């Protein structure tokens, strides 16, 4: 070990270097004061004055020019400080031997004892205290101010007390400096750990899939732990095994690998770490044991293994192998465990997201197949049904109608059921177009009265209607508005048998409000939002007797919304249900 190897704690080294710089500055002041006193007492010409003056001045020039931080951080720091203080004590003692300067120089030795307590280690301080005590005694006997040993006891005891007090202060300061430096080191380590966790978390946050995240994650962790190889294994719940995620990380690059699996119940170290939930350091891979089977397969010499888990939920495991320099240690195993914690959380969430996304994709495929099937079947049924309806209408003409009443009734029934089937097919086609986003919308100015008249012509009942003002006109698709009103009126007639159905329309700022009112049993409050869902019928026991598929109100909601309107259901005063449709006024469309 060379002479500049740091052995003193950095905090104390910095303090002692600072103290030496300030002591050098104070020594210059002392030297000036002693010089001024020598001029005043006219002793500056004596040889006994110039020798210590030149010596101390030369020492202080060197001391002032020295950068003390580096010397005070070496193992020779106590000896350097002892030499500096010894030179100062000898110079001050030499001044004090001149009777005219004794009163000025002697008190400075007490201050030197105080500096020694803060600057030196305990044994060096004790040595300086003895030297200062001898110097004071020697000055006292040499200048004749003391005739017996008893005359120097008080000054020496004073030096001892000052030295002891400053030594205690210095020791306490050193202990506090060591504790502060230890806390600073812990804070630095925590900061480093947080920076690593932040980098890992940032890497995780940027990824959107497991295939994208795994190489970045493993590469980041390998960089922090100075490892050559990194591998992530995820738990497959269906197979109850751990599966190596490809690619793995080797020497700074992702490397695709063949499928590698490990039974969770196996005695392998990786499986044990997964089951225990604690990181583990494998100091040496044993080629003859089954416990290291996966590590041998990866070609590792040394490895750190940590679980990937979210609280008690185990997600998988991570392996980091073969350090570039030296060997792994237990602290690195703990660090890997800390870094694996956020990784386990994000990998778990991304795994669930991908599984959910895959399920959603499959459901969308099934929904698309259903939509295509419904559309195809509806189109295929529409052509023969149109022919059937045309034939029935032709046969039912007066010149071709059968004379028997029973035959006429059968024709009427057949035509009614064919019309019902036609509306069902039309509903299915509309739903199919809505699902594909392909429903056409041709907005135009539609008078509400015309729409109400068309409804009266088509439906089997005769609803009453009121329009205020009578010329009220909306911006809508004529066919869609007619279908909406027909569906609502037929729905009211179906559930409010033998009760009147009323149509109202009135104007509000920038919109028209249309209400279809029935006085039937009404709709329970809890079901008011659900009625607009597909295939929903509130009274399931009456489904077959009253007919319908549960598509009518769903179509009403969808068609209203594509025309920039809204629909809701309210309770009718006195009982029943009121469906309210809001649509923009025609002038609003013209202004746009």
221-270 pLDDT, tens per residue?
Answer: 888 888 999 888 888 888 889 988 888 888 888 888 888 889 999 999 99
Which residue did the predictor score with more confidence, 539 or 391?
A: 391
DSSP 3-state of 537: coil
The 10 Å CB-count burial string (b at 16+, else e) for 207-238 is: beebeebbbbbbebbbebbebbbbbbbbbeee
Name 483's Cβ contacts closer than 8 Å, sequence gap at least 6: 430, 555, 559
Asked if 515 and 503 touch (Cβ cutoff 8 Å), the reply is yes
> Mean pLDDT in the chain?
81
Q: For 119-136, give the DSSP string.
A: HS-HHHHHHHHHHHHHHH
566-591 pLDDT, tens per residue?
Answer: 999 998 888 889 999 999 998 644 44
260-318 pLDDT, tens per residue?
Answer: 889 999 999 999 999 998 999 999 988 888 889 889 888 899 999 999 887 777 888 99
Percentage of residues in the chain with pLDDT exceeding 70?
A: 84
Which residue did the predictor score with more confidence, 204 or 29?
A: 29
438-449 pLDDT, tens per residue?
Answer: 778 899 999 999
pTM confidence score: 0.42
The pLDDT score that the predictor gives to residue 355 is: 67
469-503 pLDDT, tens per residue?
Answer: 889 999 999 999 998 999 899 888 888 888 889 99
352-389 pLDDT, tens per residue?
Answer: 666 677 787 787 787 777 667 766 766 677 778 788 88
Confidence bin at 197 (pLDDT 50/70/90):
low
Task: Please give the average per-residue pLDDT across 112-116, as a whole number.
Answer: 83
508-521 pLDDT, tens per residue?
Answer: 888 999 999 998 88
Confidence bin at 8 (pLDDT 50/70/90):
very low
Preceding amide of 466 cis, omega within 30:
no
Asked if 370 and 231 touch (Cβ cutoff 8 Å), the reply is no
Q: Shortest CA distance to 230 belongs to which of 260, 202, 204, 251?
A: 251
The pLDDT score that the predictor gives to residue 545 is: 46
Helix (H) or strand (E) holding 227: strand 227-236
Helix (H) or strand (E) holding 559: helix 552-562
Q: Shortest CA distance to 319 belongs to which of 225, 404, 230?
A: 230
Asked if 213 and 350 touch (Cβ cutoff 8 Å), the reply is yes
Q: For 55-84, give the DSSP string.
A: HHHHHHHHHHH--TTTGGGBTTHHHHHHHH
The pLDDT score that the predictor gives to residue 3 is: 37
Task: Please give the average per-residue pLDDT across 454-471, as a whole number.
Answer: 86
Name 446's Cβ contacts closer than 8 Å, sequence gap at least 6: 473, 474, 475, 476, 478, 481, 586
Which residue did the predictor score with more confidence, 325 or 355?
A: 325
Task: Please give the average per-residue pLDDT across 11-18, as a whole number.
Answer: 79
Is residue 346 scored above 70 in pLDDT? no
Q: Shortest CA distance to 167 belongs to which of 233, 131, 120?
A: 120
Q: Shortest CA distance to 74 belongs to which of 17, 4, 9?
A: 4
Q: What is the DSSP letter of 521?
A: S
How many angstroms separate the Cα of 278 from the Cα of each of 232, 236, 241, 556?
16, 20, 18, 59
The pLDDT score that the predictor gives to residue 208 is: 57
Name 91's Cβ contacts closer than 8 Å, sequence gap at least 6: 52, 55, 56, 59
Is residue 459 scored above 70 in pLDDT? yes
Percentage of residues in the chain with pLDDT exceeding 90?
A: 15
Q: Where are the domain boundaries for CATH 3.30.450.40 in the chain?
A: 209-354
The 10 Å CB-count burial string (b at 16+, else e) for 292-311 is: bbbbbebebebbbbbbbbee
Helix axes 102-119, 77-96, angle to 10 degrees: 170
Q: Per CATH, which fold does 209-354 belong to?
A: Beta-Lactamase (3.30.450)
How many angstroms separate the Cα of 554 from the Cα of each of 39, 433, 535, 568?
113, 13, 8, 12
Helix (H) or strand (E) holding 566: strand 566-571
55-73 pLDDT, tens per residue?
Answer: 889 998 998 888 888 888 8
∠303-307-310 over CA atoms, to 5°?
160
Helix (H) and strand (E) counts in the chain: 16, 15
Q: Where are the domain boundaries for CATH 3.30.565.10 in the chain?
A: 444-591
Cα(437)–Cα(20) distance, rounded to whole angstroms? 84
Confidence bin at 202 (pLDDT 50/70/90):
low
Give residue 112's Cα distance to chain centre.
Answer: 59
Cα(336)–Cα(21) distance, rounded to whole angstroms? 45
The pLDDT score that the predictor gives to residue 198 is: 58
70-100 pLDDT, tens per residue?
Answer: 888 888 888 888 898 899 889 888 888 888 8
- 444-591: CATH architecture: 2-Layer Sandwich (3.30)
Confidence bin at 206 (pLDDT 50/70/90):
low
∠192-196-199 over CA atoms, to 5°?
135
Confidence bin at 9 (pLDDT 50/70/90):
low
Cα(268)–Cα(58) distance, rounded to whole angstroms? 73
What number of CA atoms fall less than 13 Å from residue 558's CA on the CB side? 21
The pLDDT score that the predictor gives to residue 552 is: 81
């Amino acid at each position: 070990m060379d002479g500049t190897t740091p052995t003193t704690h950095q905090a104390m080294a910095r303090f002692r270097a600072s103290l030496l710089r300030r002591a050098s500055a104070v020594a210059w002041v002392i030297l000036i004061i002693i010089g001024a006193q020598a001029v005043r007492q006219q002793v500056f010409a004596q040889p006994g004055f110039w020798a210590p003056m030149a010596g101390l001045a030369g020492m202080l020039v060197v001391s002032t020019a020295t950068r003390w931080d580096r010397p005070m951080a070496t193992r020779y720091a106590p000896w350097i400080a002892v030499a500096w203080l010894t030179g100062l004590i000898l110079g001050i003692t030499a001044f004090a031997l001149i009777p005219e300067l004794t009163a000025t120089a002697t008190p400075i030795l007490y201050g030197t004892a105080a500096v020694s307590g803060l600057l030196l280690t305990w044994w060096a301080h004790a040595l300086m205290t003895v030297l200062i005590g001898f110097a004071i005694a020697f000055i006292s006997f040499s200048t004749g101010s003391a005739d017996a040993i008893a005359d120097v006891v008080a000054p020496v005891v004073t030096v001892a007390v000052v030295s002891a007090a400053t030594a205690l202060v210095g020791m306490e300061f050193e202990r506090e400096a060591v504790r502060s430096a230890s806390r600073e080191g812990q804070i630095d380590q925590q900061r480093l750990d947080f920076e690593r966790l932040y980098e890992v978390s940032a890497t995780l946050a940027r990824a959107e899939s497991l295939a994208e995240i795994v190489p970045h994650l493993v590469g980041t962790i390998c960089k922090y732990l100075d490892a050559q190889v990194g591998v992530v294994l995820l738990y497959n719940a269906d197979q109850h095994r751990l599966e190596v995620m490809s690619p793995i990380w080797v020497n700074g690059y992702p490397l695709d690998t063949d499928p590698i699996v490990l039974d969770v119940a196996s005695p392998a170290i990786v499986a044990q770490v997964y089951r225990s939930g604690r990181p583990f350091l494998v100091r040496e891979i044993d080629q003859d044991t089954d416990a290291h089977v996966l590590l041998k397969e990866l070609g590792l010499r040394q490895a750190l293994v940590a679980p990937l888990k979210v609280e008690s939920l185990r997600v998988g495991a991570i392996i980091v192998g073969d350090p570039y320099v030296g060997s792994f240690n237990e602290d690195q195993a703990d660090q890997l465990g800390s870094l694996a914690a956020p990784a386990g959380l994000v990998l778990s969430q991304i795994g669930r997201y991908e599984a959910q996304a895959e399920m959603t994709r499959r459901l969308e495929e099934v929904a698309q197949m259903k939509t295509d099937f419904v559309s195809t079947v509806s189109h295929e049924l529409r052509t023969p049904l149109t022919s059937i309806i045309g034939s029935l209408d032709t046969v039912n003409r007066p010149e071709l109608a059968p004379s028997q009443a029973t035959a006429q009734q059968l024709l009427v029934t057949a035509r009614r059921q064919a019309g019902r089937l036609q509306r069902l097919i039309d509903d299915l086609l509309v739903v199919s177009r809505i699902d594909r986003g392909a429903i056409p919308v041709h907005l135009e100015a539609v008078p509400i009265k015309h729409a109400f008249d068309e409804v009266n012509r088509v439906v089997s009942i005769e609803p009453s209607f009121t329009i205020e003002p009578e010329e009220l006109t909306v911006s809508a698709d004529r066919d869609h508005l007619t279908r909406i009103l027909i569906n609502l009126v037929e729905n009211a007639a179906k559930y409010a048998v033998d009760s009147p159905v009323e149509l109202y329309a009135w104007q509000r700022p920038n919109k028209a409000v249309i209400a279809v009112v029935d006085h039937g049993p009404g709709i329970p409050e809890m079901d008011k939002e659900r009625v607009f869902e597909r295939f929903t019928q509130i009274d399931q026991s009456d489904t077959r007797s009253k007919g319908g598929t549960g598509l009518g109100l769903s179509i009403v909601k969808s068609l209203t919304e594509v025309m920039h309107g809204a629909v809701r259901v309210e309770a009718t005063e006195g009982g029943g249900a009121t469906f309210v449709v809001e649509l923009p006024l025609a002038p609003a469309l013209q202004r746009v």
